[in-house]
A and B are shown apart, each in its own frame.
Chain A
Amino acid sequence: MTAPTSASPPEDLGLVRFHLVAALVWMLVGMTAGTFLGYRLTGPESAELGAGIEWLTYGRMRMFHTHAVIFGWLSNGFFAFAYYAVPKLTGRSLLWRPLAAVNGWLVQIALLLGAFALVSGQAEKVEYAEAPWWADVLFALTFVIALVISVGTIITSSVKSMYVSLWYIILGFIFTALNFVMANTLVAHVVPGAAGAALEGLWIHNAVGLWVTPMGVAIVYYLLPVILKKPIASHKLSLLGFWTLAVIYPLGGSHHFFFSPMPWWLQVVAMPLTAALIFVVYSVVYNFFATMKGQWRELAPNISLRFLTFGIFNYIVTCTQGPFHSLLSVQKVVHFTDWIVAHAHLALFGVFSWWLYAFIYWIWPRISGRQFSRALSEWHFWLTFISFWILYYIPDTVAGLMQGFFWLSGAPLVDSLDAAQPFWVSRAVSGVLLVAAAVIFVINMARGQKGATAHV
């Protein structure tokens, strides 16, 4: 077995393009909603912006934001990647291509239904899956169709030994289909209280860990060898990273409810299991960096590789934070605070969105025949990098510490808002800049010169 090559294309670029365009629309809407939310928290006066407009109220927009970026942006992007990578890596075209095309629209309809339900006040309480059952059913259906098409293509292919990316695609799709259905049935309608929270912990933990993570890692495993034109450094390490992710990662879900009335043994068990994630992550990261060895200079000319690599840096930071959070002394302070919000954005934006950017920078010229403008690409990268780290991640982490320690001090609760607000102002500014960067990115995609080959 070899690393992926760009031989004759059995892949359906139209399908990839469709999901990418949809992803970008959801990304712009979702990021704008996030910025709006960020602004709303910056002070008592800003909380009044658009106040009284039912559909734009904070709680509903908050659900819309996560719905749009997790399902609209990332998931559409991952569908696009799967539909591209699976034919490439199995050497055959997708099963039921016409169904995949129809399903593409069905996905968007399901997402729109969900979004409508959230903003019109029909949400149910399952974090990150707040859409009610009638929107869930359609989304679950479209997800399973995408699963059958991509995983089915792999399983029925003659490939006996798969490239790493395919393992992750299989894992992500199957685990998540089961997890999504579990959350929207058992958590939403059956299991009460603390037991329900345990299952909800399983869902929210693995929506990130066993959907976004494996699909993101699959992108890196695909792009690194292709861009660097050499195989992944260690096959054994990729096996280790994969199986530890599949076995250990899902078991830490209850760490989202430390110190809750959940059974104490469950919380105690979650601590070492969360700490063990260090191995999951570092094995993968080591493998990536070992592959990069000797070719770091290519970060400069190659925007795709740069987003990929800086995403890996962020991956190290966010995944080192995770085990750190599982220390109960740390939990005590940071739980419920913006520290966690910053951490979540580092993962979902700083890591997985950047890896998806990397994929788009790599694939788009091949789809559209357009060449990216160098200047706009640099603007996108640096504006994203600087405003995320300097204006979002660090200040919001500090805001979380402020909240945590103010709560601990016993001071009136509103004092914790005062303490966090300077940092929240910074976060709101970063939102504006990140949306601007995203707009630059989209303009760059739409307006690039038609040319034979792309330079990125």
Chain B
Amino acid sequence: MSNADSKVERPLFVALFAGVGCFLLSFVAMGLAPWTTLSSGLEAPPGMKDPYHDENGELTAAGRGRKIYMSEACWHCHSQFVRPVANEPWRYGPKSEAWEAMFDVPNTYGTRRIGPDLAREAGRRTDDWHYAHLLDPRSTVPRSVMPPYPWLFDRGPDGKPVPGEKAKDLVAYLQSLGSAFKQQVEDQVYPREIRVTGSPVPSDLLKERGAELYASHCVGCHGESHDGVGRAADFLKPSAANLNTRYLPRAEVYRVLYQGVRGSAMPSYHDMGERQLWALAQYVSDLGQPVRAAARVDRADVLARGREVYTKRCASCHGEFGEVPQAMLNMRPAPKDLRTRLYDTDYLIGVVRMGRPGTGMVPTMGLSAEEEKDLAAYVRSMFKENVHDR
């Protein structure tokens, strides 16, 4: 070969120029340069402070949770930046901004997604949902392949797992992700407006598809027998709806599926698409047919007495005629619009007596058994099959 004594092939030359020199070049160009441009010119909202440390420099719950997030390598399956492309703002929320991560040392952007991106978790789900999902991922997402994390949980007095410090820290961290966009994300995840172009004629085929979708999305919380006692039941407050104790018209099921229930673990499924939603709506609506079949018109005096109780005890939250007052709609979860669903009598009496833990519905004290029955009858009479057809 030629060039036998060429300088560029001397060991020291290669070591200094190729080894050290090229490292420094890339370090300056691809590392230092962006570092300096990013430390100036970032516009964070005023008052943004380090969410991971308190005034004394101690780790906050979110800070401790972030450590768990890193050591469990959650970031190997969950990225943490929303790209402005590939429909990601549509799926996750506003695209990620550089200043959002200004306290993240090291960064947790990640390079891989198997589960969803987590940059926009604030406003998306309840703590309950996260606890159930961390202990038993398939309880909330039946087709998930996420591993369970039982060591983040303690044993409660009854031997059942309860969220331990670690689980609480981790969930605090998850709930802090994207908190600057919390309201925007919530409004996107739980849309206020429903988009629907029409409803298909009910059919067996549709119901069959609905059953499939129920098994792959709903069974974890609402249970195999639709009684609201699925694998996630221990953690959910409010508990998942027992679908055997109520009749919801298809349009109302569609609405709930589309909008989700803010403040409960019931997510929105609007990304499922209209046809699938109708299939699921039919399946769930049909579960309530026995309740609907048992509907009867009660005597006018029963309803009048029930109405009296209702006006006194229920109307301030549920509305005089079932239309929930505007102010109450901000509750998490909001009171139910009683015109939209037909509950069975026993269920109503149960809720009147025990309340609905995890919601603003407290036990209604001091009613006689007779009054409870009258009240239930009145509430049932408020139901209007076609309330959505207005």
Q: Which of A199-207, A318-326, A380-388 contacts B (4 or more CB under 8 A)?
A: A199-207
A370 within 8 A of B: no
Interface residues of B in 84-133 (CB under 8 A from A): 84-88, 90-91, 96-109, 111-116
How many Å lie between the Cα of A44 and that of B137 in the bound state?
9
Residues of A contacting B150 in the complex (Cβ-Cβ under 8 angstroms):
52
A88 within 8 A of B: no
How many Å lie between the Cα of A46 and that of B143 in the bound state?
11
**Also in contact, A336 and B79, with CB within 8 A (given A126-B106, A193-B100, A261-B97):** yes
A227 within 8 A of B: no
Of B79, B106, B114, B273, which is within 8 A of A188 by CB?
A: B106
Of A174, A204, A235, A418, which is within 8 A of B15 by CB?
A: A174
Q: Which of A75-83, A252-260, A286-294 contacts B (4 or more CB under 8 A)?
A: A252-260
Residues of B contacting A173 in the complex (Cβ-Cβ under 8 angstroms):
19
How many Å lie between the Cα of A408 and that of B102 in the bound state?
29
Residues of A contacting B8 in the complex (Cβ-Cβ under 8 angstroms):
239, 243
Interface residues on B, range: 35 or more
> Across the interface, do B138 and A44 meet the contact criterion of CB distance under 8 Å?
yes
**Also in contact, A260 and B29, with CB within 8 A (given A44-B145, A247-B22):** no
Interface residues on A, range: 35 or more
> Across the interface, do B87 and A410 meet the contact criterion of CB distance under 8 Å?
yes
Chain A: CB-nearest residue to B273: A411
How many Å lie between the Cα of A241 and that of B85 in the bound state?
35
A402 within 8 A of B: no
Residues of A contacting B104 in the complex (Cβ-Cβ under 8 angstroms):
192-193, 196
Q: Which of B67-75, B221-229, B372-380 contacts A (4 or more CB under 8 A)?
A: B67-75
Interface residues of A in 297-317 (CB under 8 A from B): none
Residues of A contacting B6 in the complex (Cβ-Cβ under 8 angstroms):
161
Interface residues of B in 246-290 (CB under 8 A from A): 269, 271-273
Residues of B contacting A282 in the complex (Cβ-Cβ under 8 angstroms):
none
Residues of A contacting B300 in the complex (Cβ-Cβ under 8 angstroms):
none
How many Å lie between the Cα of A100 and that of B203 in the bound state?
76
Of A122, A174, A263, which is within 8 A of B19 by CB?
A: A174
> Across the interface, do B86 and A333 meet the contact criterion of CB distance under 8 Å?
yes
> Across the interface, do A175 and B216 meet the contact criterion of CB distance under 8 Å?
no
A interface secondary structure, majority = helix
> Across the interface, do A418 and B71 meet the contact criterion of CB distance under 8 Å?
no
**Also in contact, A193 and B10, with CB within 8 A (given A202-B27, A247-B22, A263-B37):** no
Of B111, B115, B148, which is within 8 A of A51 by CB?
A: B148
> Across the interface, do B18 and A127 meet the contact criterion of CB distance under 8 Å?
no
B214 within 8 A of A: no
B77 within 8 A of A: yes
B336 within 8 A of A: no
How many Å lie between the Cα of A166 and that of B101 in the bound state?
42
Of B38, B76, B106, B269, which is within 8 A of A187 by CB?
A: B106
Interface residues of B in 1-28 (CB under 8 A from A): 1-6, 8-12, 14-15, 17-20, 22-23, 25-27
Of B30, B38, B269, which is within 8 A of A253 by CB?
A: B30
* Shortest Cβ distance from residue B15 to the other chain A in the assembled complex, whole angstroms: 5
Of B25, B34, B105, which is within 8 A of A250 by CB?
A: B25
Residues of A contacting B183 in the complex (Cβ-Cβ under 8 angstroms):
none
Of A2, A189, A206, A259, which is within 8 A of B106 by CB?
A: A189
> Across the interface, do B106 and A196 meet the contact criterion of CB distance under 8 Å?
yes
> Across the interface, do A167 and B14 meet the contact criterion of CB distance under 8 Å?
yes
* Shortest Cβ distance from residue A250 to the other chain B in the assembled complex, whole angstroms: 3
How many Å lie between the Cα of A412 and that of B87 in the bound state?
12
How many Å lie between the Cα of A19 and that of B97 in the bound state?
46
Q: Which of A54-62, A135-143, A357-365, A433-441 contacts B (4 or more CB under 8 A)?
A: A54-62
B83 within 8 A of A: yes
> Across the interface, do A414 and B216 meet the contact criterion of CB distance under 8 Å?
yes
Known: A59-B147, A196-B104, A335-B83. 11 other contacts (CB 8 A): A1-B1, A47-B137, A154-B11, A155-B15, A192-B102, A193-B102, A195-B34, A262-B98, A333-B86, A414-B141, A417-B143
The 5 A-B pairs of least Cβ separation, nearest first, read A174-B19, A193-B101, A59-B73, A250-B26, A259-B83
User: A-contacting residues of B (Cβ < 8 Å)?
Assistant: 1-6, 8-12, 14-15, 17-20, 22-23, 25-27, 29-31, 33-35, 37-39, 70-77, 79, 81, 83-88, 90-91, 96-109, 111-116, 137-138, 141-151, 216-217, 269, 271-273
